[in-house]
Amino acid sequence: MKTRIKLFLGCLLFAGSLQAQGIYLTNKGETTFFSETPVEDISAVNKNSVSIINTATGDVAVQMVMKQFDFPNKLMQEHFNENYMDSDKYPKAVFKGKLVEKIDYTKNGTYDVSATGDLTIHGVTKPRTLKGKLTVAEGTISISAEFDVALVDHNIEVPKMVFVKIAQVIKVKCKYSMAPQAAKK
């Protein structure tokens, strides 16, 4: 019986080791957004987005802290966090999904990809399919994508006073360069 338990635990550890070899991660991903209106353009960047991909399963996830978006001026940042995003109540934005395409991660190259999953912003989760580029190069994986987020889809309200200053659809761009994670021993 002890032999079976040891064999089972050994198999679990070995399987976990193999699985870890397909994990690529960054905690320095860049996510930007841009709001264009005739009155004023607003942009911000978050250089601390966490992105992870499991090459064995195609699972992909991205998470960012809303308060880590940097704006050209502090007043914009304060309004974003307090008046629009309620960042204390909804501190993170998250995408969890799965790559649709099968990628050969052993070959360097750039591939058109799409990920189907759930995008959660401002406490509201919506199903989304996001399109982008995935690049395999010298042992790293990079993903870039552009997509739109409609404020109404995530119950983000803009006060009537500044309604003309903020676009109702925000352009989001992301760039994540991920490195392989060492297998656990």
Q: Is residue 139 part of a domain?
A: yes
Instruction: Give the pLDDT confidence score for residue 37 in this predicted structure.
Output: 76
Q: Is residue 64 part of a domain?
A: yes
Fill in the DSSP letter of residue 160.
Answer: G
* CA 171 – CA 173 distance, rounded (Å): 7
Instruction: Give the pLDDT confidence score for residue 155 in this predicted structure.
Output: 87
Q: Is residue 153 part of a domain?
A: yes
Q: Categorize the per-residue pLDDT at 61 as very low, low, confident or very high, splitting at 50, 70 and 90.
A: very high
Compare 84 and 57 and report the one with higher pLDDT.
57
**Structurally, how many domains does the chain consist of?**
1
Q: Categorize the per-residue pLDDT at 184 as very low, low, confident or very high, splitting at 50, 70 and 90.
A: low
35 and 167 Cβ atoms separated by less than 8 Å: yes
Residue 73, token pair as written in the block: 């001026």
Instruction: Give the pLDDT confidence score for residue 140 in this predicted structure.
Output: 96
CATH code at 114?
2.40.128.110
Structural domain range at position 107: 2-180
As a whole number, the mean pLDDT across the chain is 86
Q: Categorize the per-residue pLDDT at 40 as very low, low, confident or very high, splitting at 50, 70 and 90.
A: confident
Q: Is residue 40 part of a domain?
A: yes
Q: Is residue 49 part of a domain?
A: yes
Instruction: Give the pLDDT confidence score for residue 109 in this predicted structure.
Output: 98
Q: Is residue 185 part of a domain?
A: no
Residue with tokens 């360097």: 108
The pTM for the full model equals 0.83
pLDDT tens digits, residue range 134-145? 999 999 999 999
Q: CB under 8 Å to 9, separation ≥6 — which residues?
A: none
